[in-house]
Amino acid sequence: MDDDAAFIEQCRAAVERRLAELTPDRAEHPRRLAEAARYALLSPGKRFRPMLTLLAAREFGAEPPMALDAACAFEMVHAASLILDDLPCMDNANLRRGRNTTHREFDEATAILASVGLLNRAYGVLAEDEGLTPALKTELSRRLSEAVGFHGLVAGQAMDLEDRGRDRSPADLELLNHRKTGVLMVAAAQAGALIAGASEEAVRGVGEFARCLGLAFQIHDDILDVAGGADLGKDLGKDAGMATVVSVLGLDGARAALEGHLEAARAGLAGAGVGKGLLAPYVLALFEARKAAA
């Protein structure tokens, strides 16, 4: 394993350890609630969002420990959002990351409460981070709130649920996919840059990189939902009858759009004069491996 690969594995391992430390203690909280929160948060995953934070921080000279708790806060929000997305009243999913969804493993009420608990814990983790200045804590919390709320994940899920059978334009789908997926990636990547004291231009460039990646990830999920491929650990065929990039542009058009977003992601970093560290190579290599496995 080369030095870069070893560093990335060290970062992932640090995230896993810290998440386990930050999850509710089953001895101090209602046991079933704590177990559900741990089940959702610690289930096997790529930890893509916290890795965005850590690698973006390193891109501008901050070592991973400085950004570790913030990175974990973004993973908590992601886990909370997946619990809600999977509920019967939302996407009605049975599988997530190769296991039962949280509401199937426990029950709907416990799953909802675990989601709310994880979401609130994320803000607490930011507030308690002694390595961040008060001003930076406020800014990161503001950005996280924006990513979660009425312009972010919540809005994206509401848009997705509205009249799922209706036609949507490519522009409508791009906005939907950004809010469903991209907003949290943008906030996570920009958090790392902000923690490292990056310039406004660099923060914008990192954000554009993550925005385009989010769009690419969502299109790839749409492709896999139709075309199948590797065992993704979640339900397939859930998009039947819904407007997606695949249904609007066709498989070939969707693949072309995906590649366009990946190229735009690279340009987003280069245009801001960044991208010489591990952030772009790690993310793009991960994405290429994900495509190859399909």
- The per-residue pLDDT for range 237-268, each reduced to its tens digit, is 555 567 788 888 888 888 888 889 988 888 87
Annotated domain spans of the chain: 3-292
Token duo for residue 115: 């989601």
- Give the pLDDT confidence of 128-183 residue by residue, as tens digits: 999 999 999 999 999 999 999 999 999 999 998 886 767 888 888 899 989 999 99
Q: Are 140 and 192 in contact (CB under 8 A)?
A: no
Give percent of the chain above pLDDT 90. 57
Is the pLDDT assigned to residue 58 strictly greater than 80? yes
Q: Are 102 and 83 in contact (CB under 8 A)?
A: yes
DSSP character string of 179-196 = IIIIHHHHHHHHHHHHHT
CATH topology of domain 3-292: Farnesyl Diphosphate Synthase (1.10.600)
pLDDT mean over 222-232: 69
- Give the pLDDT confidence of 21-40 residue by residue, as tens digits: 998 776 677 899 999 999 99
Confidence (pLDDT) at 272: 65
pLDDT band at 198 (very low <50, low <70, confident <90, very high): very high
User: Rounded to the nearest 5 degrees, what angle is found at the Cα of 16, between the Cα atoms of 66 and 85?
Assistant: 105
Mean pLDDT, all residues of the chain: 88
Q: What is the pTM of this model?
A: 0.91
Question: In sequence order, what are the residues at sequence separation of 6 or more whose Cβ sits closer than 8 angstroms to the Cβ of residue 210?
Answer: 52, 182, 185, 186, 188, 189, 190, 265
